[in-house]
Amino acid sequence: MSKTAHPPPPPVRVAGPVSIARLHAEACFYRRAVTKTLTTAGTIVVAGVERVWPIVTCGHHTTVAW
Ligand SMILES: [Zn+2]
């Protein structure tokens, strides 16, 4: 018997632009915080750029404040 792995959630499509620090997971995707512990938080796809980027957040919000 083999377990079925849970597939990762699909990337969140965002309009952008998204700073390179966020795309490179160097800053919280939602609030730019860089001094807190950042954890992986899924992936995004920026409109017009067909590439999936992993993102990180400091964990307490799920909406974007550009
Ligand atoms: Zn944050």
Contact 35, 2 (CB under 8 A): no
pLDDT at position 59:
77
pLDDT at position 53:
92
Q: Provide the pLDDT confidence category of residue 63 given band limits of 50, 70 and 90.
A: low
What residues are neighbours of ligand 1 (ion), with CB under 5 Å? 28, 30-31, 33, 57-58
Angle among Cα 61, 33, 29 to the nearest 5 degrees reads 55
CA dist 45 and 54 (Å) reads 9
Res. 65: pLDDT tops 60: no
CA of 2 to the centre of ligand 1 (A): 37
CA of 28 to the centre of ligand 1 (A): 5
pLDDT at position 5:
76
CA dist 49 and 32 (Å) reads 21
